[in-house]
Amino acid sequence: MRRTMTSLALLGGGALLLSGCGGGAGGDADTIRVAYQKFGTFTQLDDLLQEVKSDFEATHEGITVELVPIEAQQNDYFTKLALMNQSPSTAPDVMYEDTFMIKSDVDAGYLAPLDDYVADWDEWDSFFDNAKQAGLGDDGGVYGIPMGTDTRALWYNTELFAQAGLPVPWEPATWQDVLDAAEAIRAEMPDVIPLNVYSGKPQGEAAAMQGFEMLLYGTGDTLYDTGTSKWVTGSQGFVDSLQFIADVYQGELGPTPQQALDTNVGTSVAAEWLPAGELAIALDGSWLSGTWLETGTAPWPEWEEVMAQAPMPTQDGQDPGAVSMSGGWTLAMGSDSDNPDAAWDFIALALDKDNSQAYDIAASQIAVRSDVAEDPDYIAANPSFEFFSSLVPVTNYRPATSDYAQISNEITVAMEAVMTGQQTPEEAAAAYDEAVVGIVGEENTQDG
């Protein structure tokens, strides 16, 4: 990563930063506090921020960057970050912010608008317009600068498929094709987990988005009608999606419920089960191979020959034939920062072209900057980038509403109820519908 001052400092903002005026979070005028997630195999962000800290401090005399890694699974990270933001003495100046949390955190008063900064940032034009949209609040203001995006699909072990007599390349056309392949794996290799689909409350958004919504949007139904601005209840697609979860877990085609409800299951999937040939199919994200790169936390040189990808099919093969979900993370500024110019300068440095490219390669992210996406080094860095980028035309996005986080939690409750056999899909869907009405009000719902 190159060592340089950002354009803001070069244009004169550096004078303020170098003087140490203003003050950082917690009452320290010369400290910029940066809060972010570091958990399991996800260490690429820590690597990036450690490097940026060094670069920043070398060019901003008198300013110290305090990195605050939060070692927690996703939902716990959100909770701990919210607790930090509730007091000016602990609130971060810069934070790692999931795009789906931006609107609710703006409503909560945690984030500062960045419009004035991006207006003077010549690199802002390099970001794709749809990526910029992910960082907007309800007021249309910019509150997060995107770091990368992602898509999701089926990763499968070609060696296990060959042993089970399954075709390679594998091209499932329906949900039943996926279940049939899992059944074939179980029949031939009872010690191998056939299929992993994240499910249950401990997995948080990994279950709601990466598991459930990958199914729901493949039925043709939706969680939220953007045309009417209402949440959908009474959806047959919702029931069918829960039935798929029941088929996997009650049909012994997935991990045991105990394994699936372990907060560390994502680490098990990426660093243990897949490399060891203990899991045949994983419904997972484009970033997964970052774990296996030479720079990853669990290097696996053979992954390119062993692992392949297939799009997740729609329920019955209906158009568009495949489905994906996309999300992404941003760097955002805390509203309690006493030194917003320094906080912005850190964000701009962390997400300049060189640092963005280094992070996107290391974390196996789909680039959100055109200059990164077109760079030959980025294109050549990972053979899976082309496949996962090809899913963008069939991808879907989570509802961009401030109450989505509460709805997401109710999805995981329903998933856990069916995966453990406590409720039928119909019962769990009915309980979800009731919870949604309680959250948003009956006037803000409509029948599916």
Give the confidence band of 24 by pLDDT, cuts at 50, 70, 90.
low
Nearest to 121 by CA among 374, 375, 347: 347
Q: Do domains 7-150+327-368 and 152-325+396-447 have the same CATH topology?
A: yes
Percent of the chain with pLDDT over 90: 85
**pLDDT given for residue 28 in this prediction:** 72
Higher per-residue confidence, 219 vs 327: 219
pLDDT in tens, 347-361: 999 999 999 999 999
Kindly calculate the radius of gyration of the chain based on its CA atoms and give it in whole angstroms.
Answer: 22
What CATH architecture applies to the domain 152-325+396-447? 3-Layer(aba) Sandwich (3.40)
Q: How far, in whole angstroms, is CA 381 from its chain's centroid?
A: 21
The most confident of 72-76, 291-295, 338-342, by mean pLDDT: 338-342
- 46 has pLDDT over 60: yes
Average pLDDT in the 205-213 region? 96
Is the pLDDT score of 152 beyond 50? yes
Q: In the structure, what pLDDT confidence band is assigned to residue 97 with cuts at 50, 70 and 90?
A: very high
Residue 334 reports pLDDT greater than 70:
yes
Q: Is the pLDDT of residue 183 over 60?
A: yes
> Which pTM was predicted?
0.84
Residue 52: per-residue pLDDT:
98
Give whole-number Cα distances, 7 to 30, 118, 132, 341, in Å.
Answer: 20, 11, 20, 12
- pLDDT over 50 (residue 22): no
Distance, CA of 339 to CA of 26 (rounded, Å): 11
Position 174 pLDDT exceeds 50: yes
Q: Which pLDDT belongs to residue 25?
A: 56
The CATH class, in words, for 7-150+327-368 is alpha beta
Percent of residues, the chain, with pLDDT higher than 70:
94
Q: Read off the pLDDT band of 400 (50, 70, 90).
A: confident
End-to-end CA distance of the chain, in Å?
A: 50
Residue 401: predicted pLDDT: 87
Over residues 158-172, the pLDDT tens digits come to 999 999 999 999 999
pLDDT for 223-235, tens place per residue?
999 899 999 999 9
Q: pLDDT band for position 42 (50/70/90)? A: confident
The dihedral of CA 375, 127, 12, 336: what is its sign? negative
Q: Which two tokens stand for residue 225?
A: 């009608």
Q: What is the pLDDT of residue 16?
A: 31
pLDDT at position 27, please? 58
Structural contact between residues 151 and 141, judged by C-beta atoms closer than 8 angstroms: no
Domain ranges (residues) in the chain: 7-150+327-368, 152-325+396-447
Q: Which residue has the tokens 């077109």?
A: 374
Q: Both tokens of residue 101?
A: 């949390």
Quick check: helix, strand or coil at residue 212? Answer: helix
Residue 307 has pLDDT above 70, yes or no: yes
Query: What is the average pLDDT across 334-343?
Result: 96
